Amino acid sequence: MDEKVKGSDNVATDQDNPLDHPAFPLHRGGKMAIQATVPVHDKDDLSLAYTPGVAEVCSAIAERPELVHEYTWKSKVVAVVTDGTAVLGLGDIGPEASLPVMEGKAILFKQFGGVDAVPIALATTDVDEIVETVVRLAPSFGGVNLEDIAAPRCFEIERKLQERLDIPVFHDDQHGTAVVTLAALRNAAKLTGRQIKELRAVISGAGAAGIAIAKFLLAAGIGDVAVADRKGIVSADRDDLTPVKRELAEITNHAGLSGSLESALDGADVYIGVSGGTVPEEAVASMAPGAFVFAMANPNPEVQPDIAHKYASVVATGRSDYPNQINNVLAFPGIFAGAFEVRASRITEGMKIAAAEALADVVGEEVSADYVIPSPFDERVAPAVTRAVAAAARAEGVARN
């Protein structure tokens, strides 16, 4: 159950004539371009935008490095970095094949958060090579968004980069998914008159998203959470765990469950799927009354909505054609916009929880079984997340503005 799954993307192919798919005309020539923000119409413009005028700005920054944030784009641009090893539902397809996704991520940053982003696909899967490359590129950027890098390398890369850089480093496959999941869960609990601390959740998928969601829900105060991989519940009595999963076993599964995912669902309040595959209907039926089913695999949810609705009070998926889409684009543009607004040095757990709370609050009193999370096209989303993240950064002492 560890396949790479994202809650925000659908994959469609035409096996007979793939180049006839309507996505190809849209992608021809790429989906983005660099655009000047100043005029260069005559020699006077040129002398200010480039030589000799630019030398004045360069010299000032050399003497006062903090001026780079005011007189370049550094403080509002993200490097979207991948090695192409865990792309959408496609897996390890390499850096070139991943580039359309990175371009897509960049235009979502701009469209939904007003943040500029540059796709960077690296021809290496070595942890240290990736880290060293990004560290050397970092003077050009105000933040780093790691994207579609397979677990467990993604955890180490993120940790090492944040240790060495004083700008935000954010692995969206982990934290973006976790933020949106928590927001939906908060509103589902509100709708049904419960609190998060009363809930027991089961997560299928012990990859980047599953592990991040588990840790984030614990930070938010959930009663208990168990995580299942291909071999069953990640528990301390297993002798086949990787170091990452061994650490996970130490902080999750307070109930001491072992065995299969299906057995863990018996009496569970929440199912969260970030794995693919199919959960048997009888396992869903065994969940607690009024359960929540968040089946986020794309294009095929682990539990089909028509099945989930038989037993669950709230159903969410990763698809845009069903209500309650768990979509990362609700989180990452506003999170980076908020971090940039105050020149945060990192993105903390408190900032992510603030983002989740802001997302949930956008729904507010309109919450219903089909509306526990807002649409990405709700214009209130990005400003609300931006404000909340900026305020949390100030409160946690990582803001520099």
202-239 pLDDT per residue, tens: 999 999 999 999 999 999 999 999 999 999 999 999 99
Q: Give Cβ neighbours of residue 382 (< 8 Å, ≥ 6 apart).
A: 112, 113, 114, 333, 334, 337
Say what the pLDDT of residue 4 is.
42
pLDDT tens column, 338-373: 999 999 999 999 999 999 999 999 999 999 999 999
pLDDT in tens, 106-129: 999 999 999 999 999 999 999 999
Average of per-residue pLDDT across 285-304: 95
pLDDT value at 5 more than 80: no
Cβ count near 99 (within 10 Å): 19
Q: Is 128 annotated as a binding residue?
A: no
Count CA atoms within 13 Å of residue 252 on its CB side: 29
CA distance 262 to 124: 38
Cα distance between the two ends of the chain: 43
Per the residue annotation, which of 4, 6, 76, 105 is the catalytic one? Answer: 105
The SS3 of residue 146 is: strand
State yes or no: pLDDT of 312 exceeds 60: yes
What percent of the chain shows pLDDT beyond 90?
A: 89
**Extents of the domains making up the chain:** 18-34+72-173
> Out of 50, 71, 197, 310, which one is annotated catalytic?
50
Neighbours of 24 (CB within 10 A): 11
Which pLDDT score is estimated for 15?
55
Tell me, rounded to whole angstroms, the distance of Cα 217 from its chain centroid: 15
Single-letter amino acid, residue 235: S
This prediction has a pTM of 0.92
Task: Calculate mean pLDDT across residues 38-44.
Answer: 95
* Phi, then psi, of 271 in degrees rounded to 5: -115, 130
- The reply to whether 239 sits in an annotated binding site is no
Closest CA to 161 of 137, 181, 178: 137
Q: For residues 7 and 329, give the distance between their C-alpha atoms in angstroms, rounded to a whole number.
A: 10
- DSSP labels for 256-279? ---S-HHHHTTT-SEEEE-S-S--
Consecutive H or E run containing 214: helix 208-219
pLDDT of 9 reads 45
Q: Where are the alpha helices (DSSP H) in 143-191?
A: 153-164, 172-191
Kindly tell me if the per-residue pLDDT of 7 is higher than 90: no
**Residue 6 pLDDT class (50, 70, 90 cuts):** very low
User: Active-site residue 50, yes or no?
Assistant: yes
Mean pLDDT across the chain? 94
Rounded Cα distance between 336 and 389, Å, is 8
pLDDT (0 to 100) of residue 8: 43
Whole-number pLDDT of residue 298: 85
Q: Does 327 appear as a known binding residue?
A: yes
Tokens of 264: 């863990």
The verdict on whether residue 253 carries a ligand-binding annotation is no
CATH number 3.40.950.10 given to 18-34+72-173: no
Q: How far apart are CA 299 and CA 319, in angstroms?
A: 7
The answer to whether 401 and 341 have CB atoms below 8 angstroms apart is yes
Q: How big, in percent rounded to 5, are the helix, strand and coil portions of the chain?
A: 45, 15, 40
* CA atoms of 62 and 282, how far apart (whole Å): 66
The two three-digit tokens of residue 356, written as one number: 């989740």
β-bridge pairing 200-204 and 224-229: parallel
| Residue-wise pLDDT tens digits, 83-94 | 999 998 789 999
Q: Is the pLDDT of residue 199 over 70?
A: yes
Contact 270, 316 (CB under 8 A): no
Query: Among the listed ranges 30-39, 62-71, 72-81, 110-119, which one has the minimum average pLDDT value?
Result: 30-39
Catalytic residue list contains 71: no
What are the DSSP E strand ranges found in 195-330? 200-204, 224-229, 232-233, 270-273, 291-295, 312-317
Query: Could you identify the residue written with the tokens 């996970």?
Result: 248
The H or E element spanning position 169 is strand 169-171
